[in-house]
Structure 1
Amino acid sequence: MAEMDVALKDTMQIDGALGAALVDHTSGMALGTAGGGKDLDLTVAAAGNTDVVRAKLRAMEMLNLMDKVEDILITLDTQYHLIRPLTSRSGKGLFLYLVLNKDRANLAMARHQLRRIERTLDL
C-alpha cells in the first residue's frame, strides 16, 4: 500500500506530529503507522480510539443525525489527538489518527492538512 505509506509520511510532516496511523474501525487494527515510540504505542492507541469512533457513530445513529463526522478532537494536557474518518468509498470503515505535541502544533493548520491528505488518499 504505497499510497498509505505516502499519506502517513505526509501526516508526519505536520508541525508537532508525534505519530500517525491508518486504522480500520471495524477491527481496531492499525493498517499502517508512522512515528510513535515507547511513550506512544500507536497500535494500542488505534484500538482504543476505535471505541471512540464506534461510540460517536452509534450516538449519531440514535439521534438520527445524518451528518458525517469530519473529525474528532481529544485534547490532553500536552497533546492533541485527531481522528478523521475517511469519507471516500474506498476508505469506508477507516480513519486517520494523528497525535500532535500541543506546544508545537497549530491545531487549525493540522486539521486543514489532515483534510488535504485524506482527499488525496485512495485505497
Structure 2
Amino acid sequence: MNIETALKEAMSVDGAIGVALVDYESGMALGTLGGGPTLDLELAAAGNTEVVRAKMRTLSTLSMDDTIEDILITLGKQYHLIRPLTSSGGTLFLYLALDRSRGNLALARHSLKKIESGLEV
C-alpha cells in the first residue's frame, strides 16, 4: 500500500486524532492526515523524532541487540504511539495520536503493525 492509503487506514482506528509517517533522520513528515487546531502534526513529527533518536542512542549505548517495536506516550487525554518501521531500513516511523476516551490501545498497536507490513515506501 502507498503512504496515502496507509495514513487513511491509520485514521480509521477508533479514536484516531492524527497520523504521520516521519523520517527520523531529517525530522520531516513524508505524509500526514488529521491533526488540526489541537494537534500540529508537523511539529509533533519533529518533536517525536527526538524521542526516537534518544531511544535508539540508548539501545546502542546499552549494547542491546534488539529493536524497538513501539513507543507509547500516555497523556491525560491522549495516547501517542510511535512505531519505527523495520521495513524502511530503519529511518521511518509511524506516529499515531489517539483520543484516550475513544481509542483502544491494543487495537491501535495491532493496526499499526498491520499497516507497516503492507506499506511500500
Where 1:54 maps in the other structure, the secondary structure is helix
Total equivalences in the alignment: 121
User: Which amino acid is 1:53 matched to?
Assistant: V
Which ranges in structure 2 are unaligned for 5 or more consecutive residues? Answer: none
- TM-score, length of structure 2 as denominator length: 0.97
In the aligned structure 2, how far is the partner of 1:30 from the partner of 1:122? 16
In structure 2, which of residues 99, 104, 107 is the aligned counterpart of residue 106 of structure 1?
A: 104
Partner of 1:116: 114
- How big is the shift at 1:91? 4.9
- How big is the shift at 1:92? 2.7
In the aligned structure 2, how far is the partner of 1:108 from the partner of 1:22? 20
In the aligned structure 2, how far is the partner of 1:66 from the partner of 1:49? 23
Where 1:65 maps in the other structure, the secondary structure is coil
In the aligned structure 2, how far is the partner of 1:38 from the partner of 1:79? 15
Partner of 2:95: 97
Kindly report structure 1 stretches of 4+ aligned residues shifted beyond 4 Å. Answer: none
- TM-score, length of structure 1 as denominator length: 0.96
User: Which amino acid is 1:66 matched to?
Assistant: D
Using the aligned pairs only, state the percent identity: 62
In the aligned structure 1, how far is the partner of 2:54 from the partner of 2:64? 14
The answer on whether the counterparts of 1:91 and 1:122 sit within 8 Å (CA) in structure 2 is no
Where 1:52 maps in the other structure, the secondary structure is helix
In the aligned structure 1, how far is the partner of 2:33 from the partner of 2:89? 19
In the aligned structure 2, how far is the partner of 1:114 from the partner of 1:17? 12
User: Which residues in structure 2 correspond to 1:36-51 (within 5 Å)?
Assistant: 36-51=35-50
Which ranges in structure 1 are unaligned for 5 or more consecutive residues? Answer: none
In the aligned structure 1, how far is the partner of 2:51 from the partner of 2:90? 16
The answer on whether the counterparts of 1:16 and 1:102 sit within 8 Å (CA) in structure 2 is yes
